[in-house]
Structures are given as C-alpha cells and as structure tokens.
Structure 1
Amino acid sequence: MIRFIAIRLAEGVVTLLLSSLLIFGALYLAPGDPLAYLIGNRTLSPEAIAALREHYHLDDPFFTRWFSWLGDVLSGQFGQSITYRDDVSNLLGPRLITTTSLVAYSMVVIVVVGIGLGIVAALARRAVSDVILGLTSVGVAVPSFVAAAVLIFTFSVTLRWFPTFGSGEGVADRLYHLTLPVLALTLASGSYVIRVTRAALREEAARDHVRSAVARGLPRRTIITKHILRNGLTPVATVVGLTLTSLVVGSVVVERAFALDGIGSLLTEAVAKKDFAVVQAVSLVLITVIVVVVLAVDVLQVVIDPRVRNRFGIEA
C-alpha cells in the first residue's frame, strides 16, 4: 500500500511540474504584453518602462523565470500581481473561501440529491425510474453557463427569489446567495451521478447473491441495505470523488456568470490582462486540487475494492 501511494505521489509531482511548464509556455505564446495593462493610457519614458520590465522580470529567459517561480512557490511566495499591485497570496486567501464554499455546497447537493435520486431510480417502479432518467438526460446535456443564464433569468430577474450576484456574508446569507450557482454547477454532474448510481445498483441487483437472498425469503429492506447498496455504491463513491474535479473546473465559468469573488473569476480576469503571477498561482492551485482528488480516489478504490488490490498486487 505504501509503495502504491508513493508511486501515485511521484506521478502527481511530475504532473504538477509539467502543468506549470505548460502554463508558462501558453502565457508566453499568448498575444499582447502584460506591461501594456500595467501602463494603461499613460506615456512613460523608455527608462521607466525598462525599470518596470526589470522589476517584474519580464525580460528574463523563460526557464530562468520558471525555476525562479518554482523556488518562490516552495517557499510560499506566489509573486506580485501587476494588475492589483499586491502579493498574489493576499488575493487568493479571501477568494479561496468563496470557491471552497461553492464546491463544498455543490458536493453536498450531489451526494444527497444525486445518490438519493439514483437509489430511487434504481429501486422504484419503472414509471418513476423513467421520469428521473429522462430528466437526467436533459441535465447532462445542458452546459453550466447555459444553466446559469436560465436560472438567473427565471429565479433572479423574473421571480426575484434569489440575488443575481455576490456571495453574501455569514453562513445563512452565503448559502442563500450560492444556491443558484450551485444548481448551475451541479446540474450536469448531479445528473451523471444519478445515472451512474442507477446503473450500478441495477447491475448489483441482478447478481446471483442477490437472487439467492430473494429466493431465501429475506426481507426486502435487508436485501437492499446489505446486498445491493453495500456493494453497488462502491463504484459510485469513485465517481463522486472524480466529480469533485469537474466542480473545481466548472466553478470558473459559474463564478464569472454570477459575479462571485472566487478564484475562478480571478483567473479569467488575470488571463485577459496577462497577469502572469495570478494565472500561474490560480492554475497551480486548481491543478493541485485535481491531483490530490485523483490520488485520494485511487487510494479509496484500493481500500474498499479487493478487485483493485488484486489488480495491482497490493496486500490488504
């Protein structure tokens, strides 16, 4: 088990290094000069421009800047934003709270509603199952930015039930403000979890040990809880874990649509203005979260599924 985790950790570190290299390269290839956004409409002397380029290390060689940035990151320094004239770490702190709240709220909705409706769709009568399956077919096909526009128009502009922007203050107000963004973010992912849960439980219900339990006359509740749910929800746990990565990525679009002060909206602004330090820091945070989630899912599979342990030759 320790060897398996060590290998996955090494793969994660390599992924982060390669990702940071690609992010640096993409920013360098993008058109435009970040210094133009810093200067604005002002007219500066060549000496002043040269001083600014030297201050922000804009003329340093690519690999020199990359290695320098990696060293700063390992020491907890993400550089300085040329747009906000502030340390990137100061910008990330408050915005991480908003994004974390949005993703955590979304995960609760997916676990409770997604798995719950999936169980209902798998065990209820065919008419109920078909209705849920039909609704999920629509949900999976709707992109988050389309869902955000429809939700804003319906529940904010027309019905005035929810605010159109902002993340609120305090726990209750924050939950109220984040409800529509969460619905937009979880529509596709939640629908997918429902379909996966339904398929996994139906497949488990058709296995021989379940049929044997039915033939022995065991109570339906016992069959469902001990034979179907216990084994059938194992692959669902993996899917739910991987869904977290799609929520982190999708939050970039949803935060922009609802004007939330999260790291997603910060990233889009930084990309538009070629704010190197901010783009690099936010991208690194997002990729790190994805790598950690994938690692956790891999370890979870090994712990709960003996077949995975046998495949990798891992002892329990």
Structure 2
Amino acid sequence: MKLGWFPTIGNGTGVLDRLHHVVLPAIALSVTFMAMVTRVTRSSMLEELGREHVEVAVSRGTPRWTVIRRHVLRNALGPIVTVSALLVSGMLVSTSIVETAFGMSGVGSLLVTSVNQMDFQVVQAIVLLVVAAFVVVNFLVDLVHPLIDPRVAAAGSAR
C-alpha cells in the first residue's frame, strides 16, 4: 500500500483498470486458502511417499520425478481436490469481508449492506446462492473423484 503500486479502494473503470484494482483483493483472498491447500497437499504427499509401492518403484531405479508424478501425486490428489473444492465454495463467503475492506461492489458487499438494512429477501437469495455453490461444487468433486482415483469407483461398484 505504501508503495502505491495497486489501488486499495474501488472497482476501477475499463478492463485493465479493473484488473489493476482486483490484484490486492485477490491476494487477500488467496493467501489464506493457499496455506490450507499447501498444508493438505504436504500431508497427503508425505503419507503417499511412505507407501510400499513407492519404495518398490524407487528401489527399481525409477527416476524420482516419475515416481512422484505417477505413484505419489496421483494417489494424493483425492484429498487435495476435495479440500480445494470446499475452499472455492467458501471463498464466496469470504468475499464479503474482502469487498468491504477494499471498498468494492459485489455480492459480498451486497450481503453486508442487506444485513445492515435488514433486507432479508436479498440475504436469503445470497445464502441460497452460496448453498447452491456448495452443492454444485460437491457434486462436481463426486463426479471427478473416480476419474482421479480408480479405487473409489471400484469400491462403489462392489456394493
């Protein structure tokens, strides 16, 4: 902020100016969520690195990058995708704080304004939008999960 590289308040006008205005809010939204995804990725990768099939692949002389890509990352993607999808849905709620802090107009600031003015119909509509986003994102994760991990599809067909 002190350097003056990016504006701290407002939406801007025109495409390039709007992109210039959205840099700081995007960073503010993403830093928290990146920390959570990084933490889940690290724990999932460490868990998969300790598996027996990874040790066998390493002992057979398979290059480290190939082992990580084929054996470790592919098996670790399940929890990473699930947490990422939930965080993307939760980002809709977090926008109200960021939009208010940066003086931007959007769904988040509309929610805050509606709560302050006790406009319950608008609050209900925004809450319905957030809930619908959670449902859609969870549905998409459920569709993608068997493509990422075939064991999930095999376990579901055994019932």
Q: Normalising TM by the smaller chain, what interval?
A: 0.7 to 0.9
One-letter code aligned to 2:157? I
Tell whether the 8 Å contact from 1:242 to 1:297 is kept in structure 2 after alignment: no
1:179 to 20, 23, 34: 23
Q: What is residue 203 of structure 1 aligned with on the other side?
A: 47
**Structure 1 residue 305 displacement after superposition:** 2.7
Structure 2 residue corresponding to 1:247, chosen from 83, 86, 91: 91
Residue in 2 that maps onto 1:231: 75
Q: Which amino acid aligns with 1:202?
A: L
Write the distance in 1 (CA, Å) between the matches of 2:26 and 2:68: 31
Aligned to 1:137: none
8 Å CA contact 1:238, 1:300 repeated in 2? no
Q: Provide the residue aligned with 1:219 in structure 2.
A: 63
1:294 to 138, 141, 157: 138
Distance (Å, rounded) in 2 between the aligned partners of 1:248 and 1:284: 12
Aligned residues: 158
The aligned counterpart of 1:273 is 117
Paired AA for residue 17 in structure 2: D
Which residue number in structure 2 is paired with residue 314 of structure 1? Answer: 157
CA distance in 2, matches of 1:227, 1:169: 48
Q: Which has the larger radius of gyration?
A: 1
1:214 to partner: Cα distance: 1.0
| 2:128 maps to 1:284 | yes
Q: Give 2:101's aligned residue.
A: 257
- CA offset at residue 203 of structure 1? 1.3
Task: Give 5+ residue unaligned stretches, structure 1.
Answer: 1-154
Cα distance in 1 for residues equivalent to 2:15 and 2:78: 32
For residues 170 and 227 of structure 1, the distance between their equivalents in structure 2, rounded to whole angstroms, comes to: 46
1 CA distance for matches of 2:46 and 2:134? 30
Measured in 2, the distance between the counterparts of 1:169 and 1:205 equals 49
Tell me how far 1:308 sits from its aligned partner: 3.2
Residue 142 of structure 1 is matched in structure 2 by none
Q: Deviations over 1:34-69 (max 9, x none)?
A: xxxxxxxxxxxxxxxxxxxxxxxxxxxxxxxxxxxx
Q: CA RMSD of the aligned region, Å?
A: 1.9
3-state SS of paired residue (1:256): helix
Q: Give structure 2 stretches of 5+ with no counterpart.
A: none
**Which residue type is aligned with residue 314 of structure 1?**
S
1:167 is matched with: 11
Q: Higher relative contact order at CA 8 Å, sep ≥6: structure 1 or structure 2?
A: 1
Structure 2 distance, partners of 1:204, 1:170, is: 47
Quote the offset at 1:237 in angstroms: 1.4
Percent of aligned positions that are identical: 46
| Counterpart contact for 2:96–2:111, Cα < 8 Å | yes
- Alpha-carbon shift at residue 175 of structure 1 (Å): 2.3
Structure 2 equivalent of residue 193 of structure 1: 37
Q: Is the 8 A contact 2:74 2:149 kept in 1?
A: no
1:261-302: CA deviations, max 9, x gaps?
A: 101101111111112332222222222112211222222224
